[in-house]
Amino acid sequence: MKITIILGHPTNNSLNHAIAKAVHDSLLQTGHSVLFHDLYAEGFDPLLPPEEVVRNADLPLLIKQHCDEIVQVDGIVIIHPNWWGQPPAIVKGWIDRVIRPGVAYEFREGDSGEGIPCGLLKLKTALIFNTSNTPATREHEVFGDPLELIWKNCVFGLCGVTNVQRKTFSVVVTSTDSMREEWIREAQAMSVQCFGKG
């Protein structure tokens, strides 16, 4: 399988980076073709300029590369921290600029954009890893786990992706080295289980 990994965390020695590297290596070892994008390292610009809003916009090279890849891959892994119940701005900007009409979804003929989009992505599996400093019970009981709704319902569900799996590792700020190592192993195992052998 061809799988792309999208990483959105500013700090190179973060748990997010460690998870991304481990998942990348595990997928390669199991025979997958893996594309890797560290959005911060790429200098990905999250701002959607006015000229890109239209469906058939002339896209900058980096954005076009991301768009071309997402229509070709069989699976995607997204790794980012939970900031205010949302992805970081750089990841949200990736959604705005790459999950675009004509690439990831379209509206039916005669629909001006008020209806429900039809998904265009051929990838059937999306795996999201989040890190958080909020305990799981508080995340669910107080906040309603907004990241689950964002990725499963608001993004991939509307793009034709039928299998969306997500795992949050918390609480990072009080975690020990052994806990982090266990989380990394868990992410590796989950990615191999999710995508199988290449």
pLDDT digit string, tens, across residues 90-121: 999 999 999 999 999 998 877 777 788 999 99
Reply yes or no on domain 2-195 having CATH 3.40.50.360: yes
Mean pLDDT of the chain: 94
Neighbours of 155 (CB within 10 A): 20
At which residue do the structure tokens 């002339």 appear?
Answer: 58
In the chain, where the domains are located: 2-195
- pLDDT value for 115: 81
The percentage of residues in the chain with a pLDDT greater than 90, rounded to a whole number, is 85
- Measured over the CA atoms of residue 80, residue 21, residue 15 and residue 184, the dihedral's sign is positive
Query: Which helix H or strand E contains 77, and what residues bound it?
Result: strand 75-81
- pLDDT value for 48: 97
The answer to whether 67 touches 101, Cβ cutoff 8 Å, is no
pLDDT in tens, 3-29: 999 999 999 999 999 999 999 999 999
pLDDT in tens, 145-197: 899 999 999 999 999 999 999 999 999 999 999 999 999 999 999 999 999 98
